[in-house]
Structure 1
């Protein structure tokens, strides 16, 4: 049984929530969610240590408003509690013009919508975070029929499943987390797309295929910057790269690295403080 460290940040400043979630992700958090005025972030126990704890606590303390005291609690939880948390909080959500993301235990009926069923478990990707919604909106806007897609850091598989339901011919999803790998396979079966969705446990270096029409990556700033040359190698000429997982303050840095590696910036989508950038080889 996997054990997780749950960080509850109570009474967090409203204008600092995105920064806290982003910073926790940079430190290795596998997911965060907002619960009213609170934020809960999760780390694998084996990845959690005093250095990360102090970095996170210091960052949060520095964000405090004058005369306010942010309350923080830290506890261990076992893996089964995660599913209980998701089941209590996740509701169906409409994204873009066509997509609806819902867990299997919820009902949704509306004509003309493309339903994507996601049971997230420990994998990131439920449609409830801005970066996932931005990626889905960009996919809906730019994806064309019969294309070939590479989804790096596939998580729950939500982006690949959406791409297939929007007309992609094949998707390859890769993730180095075993939970994500298993969850993506399960969600592919739930959505009846497993014949078009190949899931790899590993990194982008374990993907042998090239000439993708689209590369998708909703990860974090540092990982994306590091992999831009590899994204370029995997794409065919004029292929699209859609990335997210970073704040608007990082836009200049991301775009600079894309331009250096011969990508053309096509579009920038924004929700709150989060961005997705669409570029072209």
Structure 2
């Protein structure tokens, strides 16, 4: 199917109004992108944060009369002072195949591979986790997830109980099970994350060893290993909760921390643990240590 897209210059105050109007006009997909490369690293929980200068992109079937669309958009009060837009014809191609071709098996550490289900497994004798890219949860391609996967690969997890705090897709917990962990407990505030973790564990044949809970439902336990790939702010605010899930001598790795944030996380956790030298991948850091 051929597609055409309209790119509209906006502000964060008007972006959602424009999006609503595009949807009313039959647009099946609306995307917000940063117009001026202004990073937003850590929105508050449940908050949708947009850039001061936001580009709103609407996708339409190429048969749609785009003149009629732009005429209608021009009537919006939010756009009457300045309506800057660009309509672009997109190349007609198999976008699903194009997207799939961008993902390949990736190795982490010595033993561990993360493999999309449509790709051949490079090393059948390795520890292989089958995980397809999704829209919301980790797949191993982000620096923060990679830092955690390499850390897990470096450990002897045989017989260990592991906590995946903020489990998302379940990638870290599933990797831990494949690497020899006896039990993994995944915790997340998003019920969809728990469902994704269960589905991915089933695909990898470890569903009977993975337990997932909302925070308010989790049982009491003390784990040997904890990994948390979230963000610096909740890592700081929830340090007592996180450390409370570990037994004395338990090991942990914390990720989702920017280089300029790492000192504040280290300052808190160093009061309760012996920390290793924090490792960096791009602009992201991993803090790891052993609880006192």
TM-score (norm 1): 0.73
TM-score (norm 2): 0.70
| Contact kept? 1:144, 1:168, Cα under 8 Å | yes
Deviation string 1:227-262 (CA, Å, 9 cap, x unpaired) is: 1101121111100121100111111100001123x1
Cα separation, 2, equivalents of 1:85 and 1:57: 31
The equivalent residue for 2:269 is 258
Change in 2 beyond 3 A, CA 1:240/1:85:
farther
Cα separation, 1, equivalents of 2:31 and 2:239: 32
Cα separation, 2, equivalents of 1:237 and 1:148: 13
SS in 1 for 2:253: strand
What are the residue-to-residue correspondences of 1:232-251 with 2, within 5 Å? 232-251=243-262
Q: Highest CA radius of gyration, 1 or 2? A: 2
Cα separation, 2, equivalents of 1:88 and 1:250: 35
Matching residue within 153, 160, 173 for 2:166 = 153
The equivalent residue for 2:55 is 73
Deviation string 1:92-146 (CA, Å, 9 cap, x unpaired) is: 2111111111221222222532111112433321110000000001111134310
The equivalent residue for 2:287 is 277
| Contact kept? 1:151, 1:159, Cα under 8 Å | yes
Change in 2 beyond 3 A, CA 1:161/1:145:
same
Corresponding pairs, count: 229
Change in 2 beyond 3 A, CA 1:47/1:231:
closer
What are the residue-to-residue correspondences of 1:207-246 with 2, within 5 Å? 207-246=218-257
| Contact kept? 2:149, 2:175, Cα under 8 Å | yes
Cα separation, 2, equivalents of 1:85 and 1:124: 20
Structure 1 position 196 matched with structure 2 position 199: no
Q: CA RMSD, aligned part only?
A: 2.8
| Contact kept? 2:161, 2:225, Cα under 8 Å | yes
Change in 2 beyond 3 A, CA 1:178/1:134:
same
The equivalent residue for 1:57 is 52
